[in-house]
Structure 1
Amino acid sequence: MSEFRMPSLGADMESGTLVEWNIRPGDRVERGQVVAVVETQKGAIDVEIWEAGTVERLVVEEGDKVPVGEVLALVRGEGEDAGREAPAARPTPEAPGTPDIAPPPARATPEAPAAGERLRISPAARKRAAELGLDPAGVSGSGAGGSITLDDIERVAEAGEPAPSARAAPTADAHAAMRQAIAAAMARSKREIPHYYLGHTLCVEPALAWLEAYNVERPVAERLIFPVLQLRAVALALRQVPELNGWYLDGKFHAARGVHLGVAIALRGGGLVAPALRDADRLSPDAMMSALRDLLTRARQDRLRSSELTAAGLTITNLGDLGVESMQGVIYPAQVALVGFGCIVERPWVRDGQVVAARCLHASLAADHRVTDGAIGARFLNQLTDYLQEPERLWPT
């Protein structure tokens, strides 16, 4: 019998509220299946399970606030007898994992909730209903146990029943809670991590020329944006300098098992999240653009998954669209590095002995001195620069 526990969805998380179960006792679950929705200070997160089996018992009820590490459910593995008790000892914590994700199985048609039962609706669905001015009590739910999902709300909206209204602003309490969570994580970072900082200004004329040539005959909706090239360059540079890709836990460095980049995303109501763009060193240009667009959309709709908040081995923050030319970031624990990009500006540049106008940007690295030193950080920035100045190497044919 295995124990499905409340995961840690960030260095600032101490507990979460179980707001929705997508499973019931007796259900079969597969690796990577979203089995619950947990509300944290940074929003509602779809939580996946990483052991296949049959749900023996749900230990926690919807609405309960649960500390990180506490048992949420018991799952019976293949060949195990029903009713067998789970081991009492808690497993030793491991480094954040990057398990292979299997698609969740198709849901069976659920039974409708009994009359008078408390309305069961996911946080994303509740938020979308409020935006549309729709009373969710009148919506038929297709989720587990008759719960109302985001797709149910969208289905009703497409039928033309509600009229869209202005987006509901987050409450002051919710915004304050997120700021407190961010403050706790950043205070811990500055208190525990001996940061060192490096920066480099590079000419991005070659990368911009490559991007313009790539986009010239493509429809506007299918064009790449420059941050895709930045993400790819960081991912390939991490292949060359893997010491910056991972986590510092229990007094030692744990290398990540893949190149999964945290992307800092500012939320509309304030605050930020940094979910992982997975396998950034393997994606084609179009696949990376699609994955980035999807991540941005779901982050702002409270539809992120737990694995996306734990897989990143390094985070990238880009403030260029806000006119910031350079930045010195704060590492997100337990990661060991953060890359920052400023805006593209025109500067004097020496080329072939001549001073010319060139488009440039500033790239910075904040890194953990317990794991690396300036020489390793400089090697990483040099690799990053090489990829952006020789963009044909980003996706060699």
Structure 2
Amino acid sequence: MFEFKLPSLGADMDQGKLLVWHVQPGDTVHKGQVVAVVDTSKAAVDVEIWQEGTVWQLLVQPGATVPVGTPLATLLAPGEQPPAGGAPAPKPAAVPAQPAVSEAPAQATPVRVAAVAAAAVATPPPPPGRRPASPAARQRAQALGLELSHLTGSGAGGAITLADVERAAAQAANQVAGQAGAPAQPAAAVAAAKSSAANRQAEMRRTIGEAMARSKREIPHYYLLETIPMARAQQWLLQTNATRPITDRLLMAVLQLKAVALALQQFPAMNGFYRDGAFQPARSSHIGVAISLRQGGLIAPALHDVAQQPLDQLMRNLSDLVRRARAGSLRSSELSDASITVTNLGDQGVEAVLGVIYPPQVALVGFGRIALRPWVQDDGQLCAAPTVTASLAADHRVSDGHDGALFLAAVRDALQRPQDL
């Protein structure tokens, strides 16, 4: 018999609230199966199990908040006989969820879970005429006095997420503020929406501040910048996309992610974790992608095995990851597996990004905007060429500037051969 414990979904997460069980005593579970939904006060996350077995007992009731590492369930290993004199314990009754959403643990998950999102979970088909919505979204809408039938869902299959409810509540508040006497949502709902939005924003900022303060306090950062010519990559991308429908076109961000992943294969010291006083190299390139959220804040879930993915597949997976991150439909492995983070602020107009490493990772790569700048070609001719400034923030406990410089050079060289990516 073994225990299934509440996993850590971030370096600073110390507790979470169990929202939903997807299994019952007696169920057989498989590696990678989603068995529960846990709210970290920043996101409702599908939690996977990574051992085969049969559920014997559910130890924690939905609605309970418990520390990281708390046993949530006990399971029998494959072939193991159940204890004598007993049958699997019944599934615990759900604890009614509280309408308030401003409660937060002493420390919450940092940047990667900076959005409070709905649990995008598998639920029974809704009755005819009932809008599909996550449990958290349904509870929040009821607390705010909002009708789900009036909302537009951004989740899978048009399901209404918690983010959709909060957005509708904020729009109702704006209506009341801008149209005196205009019919809108009840005053109590408007006040609650304003308070909730303010609390979430304050909590998000506190969490980011704590995570980054810890990073700068504990990690001896060093920074490097590299100007990369992008004419070949741009030309290749233009020619490739010219023959594709809009829905199948590639973004430059995909080429940059693939270039980073290939460079990591040459320089594994940039790809891994610093834990318990030692560096643990990652087995694959699981790249955390910094994604801005519509309601503010950032989240950086992982794209798995980037080096092994063809560009078309990587583009599809990136689009899916962005969509699910903004709808609040992420898995625990996507929030805990990233072995390096890439942030791209080029579309925001910044020239360069000097990022802060997300512990326990040991490196972060940033890309600024692609812009025409003076450039000396190989033949010595001066011209205006599209270039991008790539940055590296790395951990001096694991690598030195020499290693970092060679890593950035490898990223640069990969982007000069886009056809090989």
Which amino acid is 2:243 matched to? E
1:195 aligns with 2:200: no
Q: Which is worse superposed, 236-245 or 41-50?
A: 41-50
Could you list the runs of 5+ residues in structure 1 that have no partner in the other structure?
Answer: 86-106, 113-119, 137-149, 156-163
Question: How far did residue 108 of structure 1 move?
Answer: 11
Q: Does the CA contact (< 8 Å) of 2:273 and 2:281 recur in 1?
A: yes
How far apart, in 2, do the equivalents of 1:315 and 1:321 lie? Answer: 18
Q: Which is worse superposed, 35-44 or 328-337?
A: 35-44
How far apart, in 2, do the equivalents of 1:257 and 1:63 lie? Answer: 36
Which amino acid is 2:264 matched to? L
How far apart, in 1, do the equivalents of 2:67 and 2:317 lie? Answer: 32
Q: Does the CA contact (< 8 Å) of 1:131 and 1:166 recur in 2?
A: no
Equivalent residue number for residue 244 of structure 2? 218
Using the aligned pairs only, state the percent identity.
53
- CA distance 1:253–1:109, change in 2 (3 Å): same
Equivalent residue number for residue 403 of structure 2? 376
- CA distance 1:128–1:340, change in 2 (3 Å): farther
How far apart, in 2, do the equivalents of 1:384 and 1:121 lie? Answer: 41
Which amino acid is 2:322 matched to? L
Which amino acid is 2:384 matched to? A
How far apart, in 1, do the equivalents of 2:199 and 2:337 lie? Answer: 29
2:281 alignment partner, one of 255, 260, 265: 255
1:353 alignment partner, one of 365, 377, 380: 380
Q: Does the CA contact (< 8 Å) of 1:18 and 1:62 recur in 2?
A: yes
1:292 aligns with 2:304: no
The residue matched to 1:358 in structure 2 has which SS? strand
- CA distance 1:132–1:363, change in 2 (3 Å): farther
How far apart, in 2, do the equivalents of 1:36 and 1:391 lie? Answer: 41
TM-score (norm 1): 0.81
How far apart, in 2, do the equivalents of 1:19 and 1:236 lie? Answer: 39
Question: How far did residue 178 of structure 1 move?
Answer: 2.1
How far apart, in 2, do the equivalents of 1:151 and 1:193 lie? Answer: 39
How far apart, in 2, do the equivalents of 1:244 and 1:194 lie? Answer: 14
Which amino acid is 2:35 matched to? V
Equivalent residue number for residue 123 of structure 1? 136
Equivalent residue number for residue 32 of structure 1? 32
1:336 aligns with 2:362: yes
Could you list the runs of 5+ residues in structure 2 that have no partner in the other structure?
Answer: 87-121, 128-132, 171-195
Equivalent residue number for residue 268 of structure 1? 294
The residue matched to 1:300 in structure 2 has which SS? helix
Which amino acid is 1:123 matched to? A
1:69 aligns with 2:69: yes
Q: Does the CA contact (< 8 Å) of 1:262 and 1:276 recur in 2?
A: yes
How far apart, in 1, do the equivalents of 2:334 and 2:392 lie? Answer: 22
Equivalent residue number for residue 367 of structure 1? 394
Equivalent residue number for residue 134 of structure 1? 148
How far apart, in 2, do the equivalents of 1:210 and 1:198 lie? Answer: 27
The residue matched to 1:50 in structure 2 has which SS? coil
Question: How far did residue 152 of structure 1 move?
Answer: 8.1
Question: How far did residue 2 of structure 1 move?
Answer: 1.0
The residue matched to 1:281 in structure 2 has which SS? helix
How far apart, in 2, do the equivalents of 1:302 and 1:125 lie? Answer: 14
Q: Does the CA contact (< 8 Å) of 1:267 and 1:300 recur in 2?
A: yes
Equivalent residue number for residue 193 of structure 2? none
Q: Does the CA contact (< 8 Å) of 2:300 and 2:341 recur in 1?
A: yes
Residues paired across the two proteins, number: 346
Equivalent residue number for residue 159 of structure 2? 154
Question: How far did residue 217 of structure 1 move?
Answer: 1.1
How far apart, in 2, do the equivalents of 1:109 and 1:322 lie? Answer: 41
1:243 alignment partner, one of 262, 265, 269: 269
Residue deviations 1:243-281 (CA, integer Å, cap 9, x gap): 110000000000111111000111111111110001100
1:186 aligns with 2:212: yes
Question: How far did residue 361 of structure 1 move?
Answer: 0.7
Equivalent residue number for residue 388 of structure 1? 415
TM-score (norm 2): 0.77
Question: How far did residue 216 of structure 1 move?
Answer: 0.7
The residue matched to 2:306 in structure 1 has which SS? coil
How far apart, in 2, do the equivalents of 1:343 and 1:36 lie? Answer: 40
Q: Does the CA contact (< 8 Å) of 1:11 and 1:334 recur in 2?
A: yes
How far apart, in 1, do the equivalents of 2:158 and 2:251 lie? Answer: 32
Question: How far did residue 42 of structure 1 move?
Answer: 2.4
How far apart, in 2, do the equivalents of 1:339 and 1:37 lie? Answer: 31
Equivalent residue number for residue 98 of structure 1? none
- CA distance 1:390–1:53, change in 2 (3 Å): same
